[in-house]
Structure 1
């Protein structure tokens, strides 16, 4: 899991930074050089979408998703455990749905040969992030279920492995 964490972080950062670099180039090109780069918007959007979708998985992994805990804070320990398990199961089902739907979108776009307007990039490659994110979410939801039943945190498990 440590390797997966590092890969997720690295890929998200690379996509984000590359997207920002393309955006800055487009702004510089338009306002300083006086030329418009229509392809830049397409690339910038794709890079940021990929970074954000991978960010969904890293946010789940690190418990950084926004939560509404007005009811949760008022629950007893047993009800909190039940709520956590139900949430994890629903998340796991959602991630499977994202994989399934994403694969269907990728296959349909691949079969139709659709390409982006400015760059001519195959659109199925843009859609590929959906099943990838679904797989990452699934892995993290299953890991959270595992840790929940084992009564540990990922950090605790890593500390135990090092000894």
Structure 2
């Protein structure tokens, strides 16, 4: 980490700044929601296998758990990754551009992402309303629970992109520092 970032507590580019603290909180929240989804799916599968082989019967409801939790796992992983700037990106062209142009492209890309993700989340509410009447056959759980993952996930992505804009607007940082990966430190 550079001295530019490390020396300014509470400023936008500092690890203790509100935008970076919020991105870290978003990362941890979505990471743990994803882990919880994965653990519940695994435990359900394990219970189904155990019951099948020990009591030679089926837990029919276990087949519906992935229908609800897999979309949450997917969206949580996407948001957690984006909050740490560790998503897939094609930077070969952008890295060859001058610093000011890189900043403009970074800002434009993130502003476009804010709008696109917010629109997807907004229109996802329509899907939730439509799916609310559909129920899983065994548990009777509304399918809207699965589709809420899209609304929550894309809202999280819009917020992360907006935070990226705030961080990138800090002129005291270079483009590389403002859009750098904010990964977890190895223990």
The answer, yes or no, to whether TM exceeds 0.5 is yes
Unaligned runs of 5+ in 1: 156-163
Q: Per the alignment, do residues 123 and 75 of structure 1 end up closer, same or farther by CA in structure 2, a change over 3 Å counting? A: same
Aligned length in residues: 153
Identify the residue that residue 156 of structure 2 maps to in structure 1: 136
Distance between the aligned counterparts of 1:41 and 1:68, measured in 2?
A: 38
Shift of 1:55: 1.6
More deviation, 33-42/58-67 = 33-42
Q: Root-mean-square deviation (CA), in Å?
A: 2.4
Q: Hey, which of these two has a bigger chunk of helix by percent?
A: 1
More deviation, 117-126/67-76 = 67-76
Identify the residue that residue 44 of structure 1 maps to in structure 2: 66
Partner SS state of residue 169, structure 2: helix
Unaligned runs of 5+ in 2: 1-21, 181-187
Question: Which of 93, 100, 123 is equivalent to 2:143?
Answer: 123
Distance between the aligned counterparts of 2:149 and 2:71, measured in 1?
A: 8
* TM-score, with structure 1 as normaliser: 0.80
C-alpha distance after superposition, 1:94-143 (max 9, x if no partner): 21122111111112223xx2101232111112211111112211111111
Instruction: Please say if residues 20 and 44 of structure 1, whose CA atoms lie closer than 8 Å, have aligned partners that are also in contact.
Output: no
Question: Which of 169, 175, 181 is equivalent to 1:149?
Answer: 169
Identify the residue that residue 65 of structure 1 maps to in structure 2: 87
* TM-score, with structure 2 as normaliser: 0.71
Q: Name which structure has the greater RCO, CA cutoff 8 Å, separation 6+.
A: 2
Shift of 1:32: 5.2
Distance between the aligned counterparts of 1:76 and 1:26, measured in 2?
A: 57
Instruction: Please say if residues 68 and 143 of structure 2, whose CA atoms lie closer than 8 Å, have aligned partners that are also in contact.
Output: no
